Structure 1
Amino acid sequence: MMEESREENKKHIVLVHGSCHGAWCWYKVTTLLEDAGFRVTAPDLAASGIDLRRLSEVATLAAYSQPLLDVVASLPDREKAVLIGHSFGGLSVALAADRFPEKVAAAVFVTAFMPDCTSRPSYVLEKYLEQNPLVASVWMDTRFNFGEGATVPGSLLFGPRFMASRLYQLCPPEDVMLGTTLVREASQFVEDLGSLPAFSEDGYGSVATAYIVCEQDATITEDYQRFMIRNHPVEEVIEIEGADHMAMLSTPQELCRSLISIADHASYSTA
């Protein structure tokens, strides 16, 4: 009974992966956070990781994010968690914070797409695609699938060359191999996000936010990360100098220290 009580009293961190990835990409950070005394949950989002759904069954950001929404909704009364979103996972974190602000101690964006409370949720993706057109010189061997008449891809799958040179370029080779083996086709739900209203000030806008800038990210570049911070100012910005896009694999110790610092200063009061 005492062991269960200690477990319940641990601060809870929820790790949210990005496009094409799964909970597996957090294996180093999960271990470090648990060793530091945190309770950690890392869900596979719909049609990702080992989730059995097919991408064709997942039409919206809400459906894709449902495993995260279920985690947050199931938190006991008066319990809050720190939500950590990586890359496209930032939009899932924003959605969860918008729906359950009373259950979120902080929303943390790790070189992630971070929406605001004035523009439609697709805005940061649309601006990004303006700067990174869907051509081979930018995306290399990444595969895009377009529906009939579509102007944005319905799905994408990162290619091995793109991953090695633009996502994992500072990661150990075994993690590059792990990633290229486990990635799955994903959607960024641009059309769905473009049809939705902005996230609310009373929901997502009321939650404490922090951004972790990964300075060597070759995909969501430091300049674009800082554009999103200017577009939606946060309470805290932390920079990791030697982190590529996959900071959880290239600089796990530094990322873990940053997350612990943010979690330790988050407010868990429900009053």
Structure 2
Amino acid sequence: MELMASLPEDEKVILVGHSYGGVSISLAMESFPKKVLAAVYVAALMPNHDYPIATGLMELLKRIMAEPLLDFQVWFDDGSESPPTRALFGPKYTETKIYHLSPKEDIELGLTLMRQGKLFLKDLANESLLSKEKFGSIHRVYIVCKDDLLVKESMQKWYIENSPTEDVKFIAGADHMPMFSKPHELCECLQEVAHQYN
């Protein structure tokens, strides 16, 4: 948000959000719509201005929790009847669901960077976070990672159906980390978006 605020009024950018980063770019789009040419969601949570951001996150968590969790941990700080508050991907879950098609050295690096993260579901349950006039006015592109085992293709299609985009691109053979499993293909997709919206 500080970077977006620091941009001159006549400068526009293309925002790219990966995974949970879809929330961040969506909030930036809402706050700075005149500074955003387009937004790209890469296997990312892509909300709609018609319902709370937490809706899409809860749908993803529901699908994740329905499968074997291995060493994926979830905390319910507000009680087991409330939504989860924190999560941590364990090494087994990371290797088999997130980096399963990525080079070994990227898996090793990824494991050293894993940390517990907050989900912010209470904050994201507010219905007034995104508007049609701001967030909804910006061109959006979704990049589907076809072999993603964390945000499966069916979940990515759910995001697209619930928040239609101008364009959808597909990367075959990409796990949840296409910047490692299919970096050239991801780069090509981003270059296409840059040419299209520049």
Q: Which TM-score band applies after superposition, normalised by the shorter structure?
A: over 0.9
Which amino acid in 2 is paired with 1:207?
A: I
Deviation at 1:149, TM superposition (A): 2.0
Give the TM-score taking structure 1 as reference length: 0.70
2:170 aligned to 239, 256, 261, which one? Answer: 239
Kindly indicate whether the alpha-carbon contact (under 8 Å) linking 1:164 and 1:176 is maintained by their aligned counterparts in 2: yes
Deviation at 1:196, TM superposition (A): 4.0
Structure 1, unmatched stretches of 5+, are 1-68
Task: For residue 100 of structure 2, give the secondary structure of its aligned residue in structure 1.
Answer: coil
Residue 197 of structure 1 pairs with residue 102 of structure 2: no
1:109 aligned to 41, 44, 52, which one? Answer: 41
Task: For residue 159 of structure 2, give the secondary structure of its aligned residue in structure 1.
Answer: helix
Aligned counterpart, 2:193: 262
Q: Tell me the distance in 1 between the aligned counterparts of 2:62 and 2:78.
A: 21
Q: For 1:1-271, what aligned pairs fall within 5 Å after superposition? A: 69-133=1-65, 137-150=67-80, 151-267=82-198
Kindly indicate whether the alpha-carbon contact (under 8 Å) linking 1:88 and 1:188 is maintained by their aligned counterparts in 2: no
Deviation at 1:197, TM superposition (A): 2.0
Structure 2, unmatched stretches of 5+, are none
Kindly indicate whether the alpha-carbon contact (under 8 Å) linking 2:51 and 2:127 is maintained by their aligned counterparts in 1: no
Name whichever of 198-207 and 174-183 sits farther off. 198-207
Deviation at 1:148, TM superposition (A): 4.0
Give the TM-score taking structure 2 as reference length: 0.95
Deviation at 1:84, TM superposition (A): 0.3
Deviation at 1:155, TM superposition (A): 1.2
Q: Tell me the distance in 2 between the aligned counterparts of 1:131 and 1:178.
A: 27
Identical residues among aligned pairs (%): 40
Give aligned pairs, total.
Answer: 197
Deviation at 1:198, TM superposition (A): 4.8
Q: Tell me the distance in 2 between the aligned counterparts of 1:132 and 1:157.
A: 13
Kindly indicate whether the alpha-carbon contact (under 8 Å) linking 2:19 and 2:45 is maintained by their aligned counterparts in 1: yes
CA displacement 1:129-173 (0-9 Å, x = unmatched): 23232x7x5321022222142522221111000000000000000
Query: Structure 1 residues 138 and 74, CA, compared in 2 at 3 Å: closer, same or farther?
Result: farther
Aligned counterpart, 1:17: none
Larger Rg: 1
Deviation at 1:82, TM superposition (A): 0.6
Q: Tell me the distance in 2 between the aligned counterparts of 1:86 and 1:139.
A: 22
Name whichever of 207-216 and 150-159 sits farther off. 150-159
